[in-house]
Amino acid sequence: MTLLRKIPLCFFVAALVLAPSRTEAQQAMPSEVSQPGVQFERPGGEAQAPVTVTLSDAIARARTVDAEYLSSVSDTRTAHDDTLQARNSMLPSVDATSQYLGTEGNGKTPIGRFVTNDGVHVYRAWGVLHEDLSPTTYLTTNYHHAQAAEALAKAKGEIAQRGLTVTVTKNYYGLVAAQRDYAFAQAALDQARHFLKITQDAEASGLAAHADVLKAQIAAEQQQQAFDEAGLAMENARIDLAVLLFPALNENFTVVDDLDTAAPLPEFRDMEEMAAKGDPELRVAMDTLNEAKSDVTAAKGAFLPSFSLEADYGIEANAFALHSVNVEFPEDGPLPNLGYFVTAGVTIPVWDWGTLRSKLRQSEANLDQARVGADQTQREALANLYSAYNEAKVARADVSTSQQAAADASESLRLTQLRYQAGESTAQEVVDAQNTLTQVRTAFDDAQVRYRVALARLQTFTGPF
């Protein structure tokens, strides 16, 4: 220790000049590594310029390839078509039909052998208007049920979309943080090697013990291992995000580091109002309740009578013409063949062995359960909103705290190195300061990612803000 106090001033100044600054450590990029540790295998492919992907771009890309989200989109479209079909089923149908009835004659008269046919040749050409007025039609229960099902599918699709946004946000900023950690691991490795050089020079000059060199050597080896692990974590984070973004696995992209520009956290009152209007979980519960109500209405309507109406207009004659001679009354001359007939009917349920009442009880039980589920969903939604907001609030505080801690740790390392070079501290203290800086820098990046993910999770309840 006495020898350390006698380090020449010129050596002290040279050490200060050679020591990497905090700004250099922050700005070091993975591509600037002079001696990479491990070379990772990557998916092959034709070399092209990398694609720059922002968070919004990443979310848009993920929506085009994510199977679960696309399935919810397909379900929404199917439910919309079901609504159109339910609406159209209430409207009368119009058909056109043509028939020819050829009957074997009796050989003497032009009358056919079968009672239903009034001639050997019978031609039919009808336009048919048909309407079934069942209880589900004139009470519009099927249509309302389909509307509720479509709204339910849309709400589930919104849940899938917001869940995908959280997943993409987590992986996106996970890669950003991994790149930061990799760059800082590179700077820390360079700094450890620089400190090793200082101890070696001091030992060669007789100003430091060999134990200091060994301690610096161990620290450099540990930083090399940490650098390799940081590279592996960055590669894995890149692959995880690539799986979400591209239909074919592609690592040839870069992400924009905007962790430092996170949106502020709104007041909870505003969050509560937005959640009341935009929480898809609440909409799912209410749409499920509406479905159950329409089922009860349909079950009650089954006790009502059903009506049917059919109007036919056209010809049914022995000749395919607007006018023809009746074979039974040829003396009347040509008569018009065009005409119409109407068929109306009513069906009244009388006895079904209690089946309709059983279905009514089932639908009422389902309605009661849907009400209970809706009430519970409202309670859970409020609890989840509190939890997500508190998580975001704590994450925001951690960002500020860890940022200050990173600045303090960087300054502590700088001062500890100066004290070592002045003979006032040990190599162990320098190594501890280096490790502390690594830990707090990692904690700072993790806190920023946590806050971003917390905001995305909060928006699953409130919608964008």
Structure tokens belonging to residue 160:
């899938």
Give the whole-number percent of the chain exceeding pLDDT 70: 87
pLDDT for residue 178 is more than 90:
yes
Q: What is the pLDDT of residues 191-212, one digit of tens each?
A: 889 889 988 988 888 877 888 8
Domain spans of the chain? 4-15+50-90+140-304+354-462, 93-139+305-348
Q: Is 255 helix (H, G, I), strand (E, B) or coil?
A: strand
Render pLDDT for 243-297 as a digit per residue (tens, 0 to 9): 999 988 888 899 999 988 888 899 999 998 999 888 999 999 999 999 999 999 9
| H or E element in which residue 307 lies | strand 306-317
Same fold: 4-15+50-90+140-304+354-462 with 93-139+305-348: no
> What is this structure's pTM?
0.75
Q: Coil, strand, or helix at residue 396?
A: helix
Q: Is 128 within 8 Å of 99 (Cβ atoms)?
A: no
- Residues 390-417: what's their mean pLDDT? 92
C-alpha 276/C-alpha 377 separation (Å) is 12
Question: Tens digit of pLDDT for each residue in 88-125?
Answer: 989 999 999 998 888 877 666 666 666 566 777 888 89
As a whole number of angstroms, the distance between CA 208 and CA 210 comes to: 7
CATH topology for 4-15+50-90+140-304+354-462 is Outer membrane efflux proteins (OEP) (1.20.1600)
User: Tell me, which fold does domain 93-139+305-348 have in CATH?
Assistant: Outer membrane efflux proteins (OEP) (2.20.200)
Residue 37 banded pLDDT, cuts 50, 70, 90: low
Strand, helix or coil at 254?
strand
CB 40 within 8 A of CB 30: no
Instruction: Judge whether 109 and 53 are in contact, CB under 8 Å.
Output: no
Interatomic CA distance for residues 290 and 144, integer angstroms: 8
At residue 165, the pLDDT reads 94
Q: Which two tokens stand for residue 301?
A: 């309507």
